Structure 1
Amino acid sequence: MSRVKILDKTFETSMPEAQIKARVKELAQQISKDMEGKNPLFLAVLNGAFIFAADLMREMTIPCEISFVKLASYQGTMSTGKIKEVLGINEDIAGRTVIILEDIVESGLTIRQMIDSLGTRNPASVHVCTAFFKPEKLKENLKIDYAAFEIPNDFILGYGLDYDQQGRGLKDLYTLVSE
């Protein structure tokens, strides 16, 4: 296992890029099958979900669209618990099948706020798709329709996830090492 130092923290490889990409391809095949004939609109949550969104979109086999929304709730390694919308949704989603793409679902607060906000715009349906899901940390009553990986409650980095805006471009997934 390799280690990387990002700012003042050390991280160790926990999942190689090949494993992530293989699972994202499977997920795209499942979503393509489930959404056949619907032309879903993917709403990718920036900044973290951009790599996951790109990889997933390249594997989709049905017509679909993508847009981006930017929400913020993290400072360092801790969630502030307050979500602010930095870049909003510009698309008309009335009557559309919407799939929220998230890098990671932990407490569920961000997804809950998004679902509630989208609900006022009359979509046909709203689904949740995440690269990483921490079920033991979930506080909201949410249905996660698609999760590439269920992971333990560790702080992770890479594949779009960051530590103080650093490390997003790492191809593998890394876990914080307690020192």
Structure 2
Amino acid sequence: MISKDIQKVLISEDQIEERCEELAKEIENDYNAKGEIPIIVGLLKGSVPFMAELIKRFTFACEIDFMSVSSYDGTESIGDVRIDKDMDLSCKGRSVLIVEDIVDTGRTLKEVKKLLLRKGAKDVKVVSLLDKPERRVVDIEAEYTGFPVPNEFVVGYGLDYNQKYRNLPYIGILKPEVYQ
């Protein structure tokens, strides 16, 4: 039972679903106003539950793709961003919406945005389920954010510790004894 490792539920499943509804409307309104439909790009693996919850609420026909990027080893951001799987679709001349589970140090997002712009993306925006501004080491913000979170080790709804806890239907704070 993985829930025994959770110190506290920070954001409930109902809160996440409600916020996804609001974010989807805001995103759709913004892109409709520009007359564009973005390529929705999920950053694997953490974004999958959030991306699934978000895109099922869009009423426009959207294309989705994935990238796998890494910059973590256990609990620490190592600063070196590695592209393990690039997009299959071309982003040249297109708007791209990156779906991220959490903006932490910001290193990963900054590098991914730079890469997509170098490949000719018209613009690159970010929607992130969580934002942890206390940990930011580069100047970057998501255009759309679900929830700010404190500087605690959070898991669930796609976020993991050593590939575990992604399947929790909520965001919880992991007990320190689990990762120390």
Q: What pairs with 1:1-179 in structure 2 (closer than 5 Å)?
A: 4-6=3-5, 10-36=6-32, 37-178=35-176
TM-score using structure 1 length = 0.92
Query: Does the aligned pair in 2 maintain the 1:40–1:63 contact within 8 Å?
Result: no
Deviates more, 1:60-69 or 1:125-134: 60-69
Structure 2 unmatched ranges of 5 or more: none
CA distance in 2: counterparts of 1:173 and 1:158, whole angstroms: 5
Larger helix percent? 2
Query: Does the aligned pair in 1 maintain the 2:77–2:105 contact within 8 Å?
Result: no
3-state DSSP of counterpart to 1:54 = helix
CA distance in 2: counterparts of 1:143 and 1:125, whole angstroms: 15
Query: Does the aligned pair in 1 maintain the 2:130–2:147 contact within 8 Å?
Result: yes
Structure 1 unmatched ranges of 5 or more: none
- Opposite residue 17 of structure 1, the aligned amino acid is E
Count of matched residue positions in the alignment of Structure 1 and Structure 2: 174
C-alpha RMSD of the superposition: 1.5
1:81, CA displacement in angstroms?
1.8
Q: Equivalent pairs: percent with the same residue? A: 34
3-state DSSP of counterpart to 2:37 = coil
Aligned structure 1 segments of 4 or more residues deviating by more than 2 angstroms: 3-6, 176-179
Deviates more, 1:40-49 or 1:54-63: 54-63
Query: Does the aligned pair in 2 maintain the 1:29–1:60 contact within 8 Å?
Result: yes
1:95, CA displacement in angstroms?
1.1
